[in-house]
């Protein structure tokens, strides 16, 4: 049984029928979009264009500029204005586990047809149709499956963003969510003519100097707790000011911590601009600890291997909370 045939086979057919039967769509994803959010958004737009549908991609204005590693994406078709004919459009949420992660009220109207396409296991099933494939490696993988179901050919403009969604959400095929279909999907994109080396350079290399300086500060503050099972660091508002770094420049720090020998959970806490509040990224290194469970205990969420939360705990309280949570799961 393939990932997309598992428990949501009926929902898959409903999504396919809705795409076939409707002509106008508006596409959305979650706040602070990552590679899978943007990749699946643009991939779905390409799918709909291939069927001759009228599609609008919406991203809130405060999300721009995009994170540095995604600024090479062609966003000429992305808008930050709610379409005037929004009431005539079918709404598609991509990679959005909770409707509150896209706070625009215009997309929550009563009676709207809402297709919820996602792979987060804690998805709240807020759509008219909920195509949630928990064992898919990424939402981009689900979009690829829908393309196959609709007979849309895989062109290079569609293949590139979908490949970015794949490599970023699987940690370049290192995370436990990397299944056989992830590699089949990668092969299909390469056959479609994408330049793999160029994509990797754009996403993972070409660092601006402020990012290097921010990494240096984060790594120099690394602490080990719970007998080395918890490896964490923190960055203050002042660190960003002094290095000239953007918030998105933290991408990759927690993965370096995750690689430290003996680590079960890696954590990066970064102070939010208003001060006194922290955004925490969590990664599990070997599957022994479910970091989404830790995140949910503090009002956050995510995947078993990658999750996050926001908190107003003090740094000392946060360390104590994370240490207690990690020990509880490995004891």
CATH code, 107: 3.90.1640.10
Q: Are residues 192 and 58 in the same domain?
A: yes
Q: Are residues 213 and 86 in the same domain?
A: no
Q: Tell whether 214 and 198 lie within a shared domain.
A: no
From 194, 214, 318, 212, select the one nearest 265 (Cα to Cα): 318
Q: What percent of the chain has pLDDT over 90?
A: 85
Residues 156 and 41 in one domain: yes
The CATH number linked to 260 is 3.10.310.30
Q: 260: which 2 tokens? A: 């430290």
| Tally of residues, the chain | 331
Do residue 19 and residue 114 come from a single domain? yes
Amino acid 176: pLDDT = 83
pLDDT band at 2 (very low <50, low <70, confident <90, very high): very low
Final residue belonging to a domain, choices 203, 218, 245: 203
- Segment 185-214 mean pLDDT: 95
Task: Check whether 55 has a pLDDT greater than 80.
Answer: yes
Q: Which residues contact 101 (CB under 8 A, 6 or more apart)?
A: 30, 31
Q: What are 212-267's pLDDT values in tens digits?
A: 999 999 999 999 999 999 999 999 999 999 999 999 999 999 999 999 999 999 99
**Count: domains in the chain:** 2
pLDDT of residue 8: 59
Give the separation between CA 179 and CA 186, rounded to whole angstroms: 11
For residues 11 and 4, what is the distance between their CA atoms, to the nearest angstrom?
A: 10
Alpha helices in the chain (DSSP H): 9-21, 35-50, 139-150, 156-169, 180-191, 196-204, 209-220, 237-243, 253-258, 291-296, 315-330
Among 152, 168, 203, the domain-final residue is 203
CB 250 within 8 A of CB 270: yes
Arithmetic mean of pLDDT, 154-164: 93
> Do 99 and 246 reside in the same domain of the chain?
no
Question: Where residue 9 falls among pLDDT bands split at 50, 70, 90?
Answer: low
In DSSP terms, which residues pair with 271 in a beta bridge? 278
For the entire predicted model, the pTM comes to 0.87
Half-sphere exposure of 42 (CA within 13 A, CB side): 25
Distances (CA, A) of 303 to 266, 295, 309: 14, 9, 12
pLDDT in tens, 69-111: 999 999 999 999 999 999 999 999 999 988 887 778 889 888 8
Same domain, 325 and 282: yes
State the average pLDDT for the chain. Answer: 93
**Residues above pLDDT 70, as percent of the chain:** 97
More confident site: 18 or 101? 18
Confidence of residue 168 (pLDDT cuts 50, 70, 90): very high
Provide the domain limits for residue 104: 3-203
The verdict on 226 and 102 lying in the same domain is: no
Confidence at 3, pLDDT banded by 50, 70, 90: very low
On whether both 113 and 139 belong to a single domain, the answer is: yes
The answer on 42 and 94 residing in a single domain is yes
Q: Looking at the predicted structure, is the pLDDT value of residue 4 above 80?
A: no
Same domain, 65 and 199: yes
Token pair 């002094």: residue: 242
Q: Are 153 and 19 in contact (CB under 8 A)?
A: no
**Closest CA relative to residue 57, chosen from 33, 83, 18:** 83
User: Once rounded to an integer, what is the mean pLDDT over residues 297-315?
Assistant: 92
Q: Based on the fold, state whether residues 45 and 191 are members of the same structural domain.
A: yes
Helix (H, G, I), strand (E, B) or coil at 27: strand
**pLDDT of 286 above 90:** no
Q: How far apart are CA 277 and CA 261, in angstroms?
A: 30
Of 157, 186, 203, the residue that ends a domain is: 203
């Amino acid at each position: 049984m393939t990932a997309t045939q598992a428990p949501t086979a009926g929902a898959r057919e409903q999504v396919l029928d809705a795409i076939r039967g409707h002509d106008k769509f508006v596409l959305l994803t979650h706040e602070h979009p990552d590679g899978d959010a943007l990749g699946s958004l643009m991939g779905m737009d390409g799918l709909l264009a291939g069927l001759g549908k009228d599609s609008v991609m919406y991203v809130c204005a405060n999300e721009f500029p995009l994170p540095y590693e995604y600024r090479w994406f062609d966003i000429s078709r992305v808008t930050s204005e709610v379409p005037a004919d929004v009431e005539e459009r079918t709404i598609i949420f991509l990679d959005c586990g909770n409707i509150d992660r896209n706070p625009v009220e215009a997309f929550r109207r009563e009676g709207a047809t809402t297709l919820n396409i996602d792979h987060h296991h804690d998805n709240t099933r807020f759509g008219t149709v909920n195509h949630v494939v928990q064992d898919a490696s990424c939402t981009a993988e689900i979009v690829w499956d829908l393309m196959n179901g609709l007979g849309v050919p895989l062109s290079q403009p569609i293949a590139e963003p979908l490949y970015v969604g794949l490599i970023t959400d699987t940690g370049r095929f290192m995370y436990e969510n990397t299944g056989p279909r992830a590699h089949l999907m990668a092969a299909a994109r390469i056959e479609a003519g994408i330049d793999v080396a160029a994509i990797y350079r754009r996403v993972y290399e070409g660092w601006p100097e402020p990012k290097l300086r921010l990494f240096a500060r984060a790594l120099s503050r690394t602490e080990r707790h719970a007998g080395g099972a918890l490896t964490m660091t923190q960055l203050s508002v002042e660190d960003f000011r002094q290095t000239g770094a953007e918030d998105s420049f933290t991408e990759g720090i927690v993965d370096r911590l995750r690689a430290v020998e003996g680590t079960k959970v890696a954590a990066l806490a970064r102070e939010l601009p208003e001060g006194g509040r922290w955004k925490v990224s969590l990664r599990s290194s070997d599957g022994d600890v479910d970091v989404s469970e830790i995140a949910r205990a503090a009002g956050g969420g995510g995947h078993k291997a990658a999750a996050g939360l926001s908190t107003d705990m003090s740094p000392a309280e946060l360390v104590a909370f994370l240490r207690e949570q990690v020990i509880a799961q490995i004891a």
